[in-house]
């Protein structure tokens, strides 16, 4: 992408501070239901390397949005973070922050675009007024500069900044509101940016443009970025690494080219096979059988994916596969383990 290199030419005069790393350890988030507390995210370890874009892909009910909210320590009741830590360089464990410290961290250190950002704006205030509110609540001294930055970001996303800031949300289309949400997440210069479904309601060309801008801003400002999506395609091109979630677990994680080019978890393989593509044999593509689990239908033990898995073994019914890290790739699957060990053995023969 030529846009990547262009971003370097226009870098700010002062070198941006180094991007922070993010380490999620053993994170478990539970939701209170009539059937007791059930885990939406369970025992998740995920490291976001400084300066990288990590894509988290999962279907509805995979726990991906809950994981994203945990980065802000913003899980709302009936949800509760039951265990684990989220360490962000320069900020410490977000899960121990309370009150004013937490409020400041949100927006200043961790920028966030909520899912359906187009519906999270205040209908009674112009976008500009909301921008100023945001600036004041985070003690921004130079509000003029903030407005300038906002207009600049909006212009890059193809909008007339001055006009947008004078508008109420109902005067903007869904795609425009989505871009306003992205602007609000970036404008305070947070170093960790979380984007939950940033392009879901957008057309293909707009999606491609927004993703390119996300990538450009990410590189210019040396950010650490997390993109949450249900659509592998929406992150395949911008992400450096890809984490695949299923039933509250990260089942596979690694560099994006390796996870897509040589998927090891049967769910990842099935998901890739299910993507409508422009080329290739139509008959090879097919939907995954079954359907994604919900909190209520998650199996109590064993592998979360076994119901839909074509490589299910006896051990999958009883034992949960451990996440195994090998050569920078993480896979949680009994069958993948066996496959790998077979390959290994062959190599040694």
Partner 1 sequence: MITGTGITKTFKQRGGVLGAREVPALRGVDFAIAKGGAVSFIGESGSGKTTLGRIIAGLESHDAGEIVIDGVPMSSLSHRRRQPYFRRIQLIHQDPYSALNPTRTIHQTLEAPLRLRARQTGRPRSWADQRAEELLAMVGIDPGYVLPRYPHQLSGGMRQRVVIARALTMDPEVLVADEAVSMIDVSLRLGILALLKDLRERLDVGVLFITHDIATARYIGDDGELYVLYRGQVVERGATEKIIADPVHPYTQSLLSAIPVLHGLERPGAERVVPREMQREGEPDAGCLFARRCPFGTERCANEMPVLERGPDAEQEYACFHPRRRSVIPVGVGE
User: Rule CB under 8 A: which residues touch partner 1?
Assistant: 59-60, 157-159, 173, 175, 203-209, 211, 230-237, 256-262, 270-272, 274-280, 282, 285-288, 291-292
Question: Measured from the CB atom, is 38 or 208 closer to partner 1?
Answer: 208
SS3 content of the chain, % helix, strand, coil (to 5): 40, 20, 40
* Sign of the dihedral defined by the CA atoms of residues 143, 147, 148, 152, in that order: positive
Distance from C-alpha of 173 to C-alpha of 193, rounded to nearest angstrom: 24
| DSSP code per residue over 97-113 | --HHHHHHHHHHTEEEE
Question: Measured from the CB atom, is 171 or 319 closer to partner 1?
Answer: 171
- Report the nearest approach of partner 1 to the CB of residue 290 (Å): 9
- As beta bridge partners, residue 282 has none
- Report the nearest approach of partner 1 to the CB of residue 187 (Å): 20
CB atoms within 10 A of CB 77: 7
Question: Measured from the CB atom, is 140 or 234 closer to partner 1?
Answer: 234
- Report the nearest approach of partner 1 to the CB of residue 125 (Å): 18
Question: Measured from the CB atom, is 44 or 159 closer to partner 1?
Answer: 159
Distance from C-alpha of 112 to C-alpha of 59, rounded to nearest angstrom: 20
Question: Measured from the CB atom, is 78 or 290 closer to partner 1?
Answer: 290
Answer for the pair 283, 273: CB distance below 8 angstroms, yes or no.
no
- Report the nearest approach of partner 1 to the CB of residue 8 (Å): 19
Residue 336, judged by CB atoms within 10 A of its CB (0-12, 13-18, 19+), counts as buried
- Report the nearest approach of partner 1 to the CB of residue 173 (Å): 8
- Tokens representing 189 are 């210069």
Question: Measured from the CB atom, is 51 or 55 closer to partner 1?
Answer: 55
- Report the nearest approach of partner 1 to the CB of residue 288 (Å): 4
């Amino acid at each position: 992408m030529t846009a990547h290199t262009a971003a370097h030419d226009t870098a700010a005069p002062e070198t941006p501070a180094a991007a922070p790393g993010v380490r999620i350890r053993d994170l478990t988030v539970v939701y209170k239901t009539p059937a007791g507390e059930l885990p939406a995210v369970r025992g998740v370890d995920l490291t976001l390397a400084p300066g990288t874009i990590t894509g988290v892909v999962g279907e509805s009910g995979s726990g991906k949005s809950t994981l994203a909210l945990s980065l802000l320590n913003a899980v709302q009741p009936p949800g509760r973070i039951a265990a684990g830590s989220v360490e962000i360089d320069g900020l410490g464990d977000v899960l121990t922050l309370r009150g004013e410290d937490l409020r400041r961290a949100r927006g200043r250190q961790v920028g966030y675009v909520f899912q359906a950002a187009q519906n999270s704006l205040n209908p009674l205030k112009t976008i500009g007024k909301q921008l100023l509110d945001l600036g004041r609540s985070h003690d921004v001294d130079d509000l003029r500069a903030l407005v300038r930055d906002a207009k600049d970001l909006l212009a890059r996303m193809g909008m007339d900044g001055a006009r947008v800031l004078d508008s109420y949300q109902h005067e903007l289309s869904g795609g425009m509101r989505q871009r306003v949400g992205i602007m609000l997440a970036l404008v305070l210069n947070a170093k960790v940016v979380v984007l939950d479904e940033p392009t879901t309601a957008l057309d293909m060309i707009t999606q491609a443009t927004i993703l390119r801008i996300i990538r450009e801003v990410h590189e210019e400002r040396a950010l650490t970025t997390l993109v949450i999506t249900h659509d592998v395609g929406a992150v395949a091109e911008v992400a450096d690494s890809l984490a695949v979630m299923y039933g509250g677990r990260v089942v596979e994680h690694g560099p994006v080219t390796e996870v897509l080019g040589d998927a090891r978890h049967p769910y990842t393989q099935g998901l890739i096979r299910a993507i409508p593509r422009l080329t290739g044999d139509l008959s090879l593509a097919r939907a995954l059988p079954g359907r994604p689990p919900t909190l209520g239908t998650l199996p109590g033990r064993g592998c979360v994916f076994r119901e839909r898995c074509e490589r299910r073994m006896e051990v999958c019914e009883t034992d949960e596969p451990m996440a195994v890290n090998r050569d920078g790739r993480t896979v949680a699957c009994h069958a993948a383990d066996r496959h790998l060990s077979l390959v290994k053995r062959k190599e040694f023969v």
